[in-house]
Amino acid sequence: MCQWQVRQQLLLALPQVREAVDLVVDPPGRAPGRMTLTTYHSAKGREFDVVILPGLINKHVPYWGRYGIGEAELRIARRNFYVALTRAREEVVLLSGSFFTDAWSTPRCTGPSIFVTDILGPDGSA
């Protein structure tokens, strides 16, 4: 059942991803072709018109590792996410899902990142 959900969600998400990338690559009134790829850490102190945060899937953001995540690590991850989220001047695009594929190509259904749930609520409607 999880693999069916994976395919279904991926197909539903592709148009949204394309639309978000098109808006960032060629925003109205701007010269086309400029995009900055950065990490949460290196974005600190910088600002962008639009920020896209991909991969917001539980156990990836925040990363749980092999043995879970401790309270101190969760606080640090939450602070880094906040830094990334607040780099946008105009718009933030959160790309989330409910699964990820592990190193053995097995889909793992874990749900959206707890950080996304904090922002949008459990039903994703804000």
Q: What confidence score (pLDDT) does residue 7 get?
A: 43
Q: What confidence score (pLDDT) does residue 125 get?
A: 64
Q: How far is CA 96 from the centre of its chain?
A: 5
Per-residue pLDDT of the chain (126 residues; tens, 9 = 90+): 334 344 444 444 556 666 665 555 555 565 566 677 777 777 788 888 888 888 888 888 888 877 888 899 999 989 989 888 888 888 888 888 888 787 788 888 888 888 888 888 776 666
Q: What confidence score (pLDDT) does residue 102 get?
A: 76
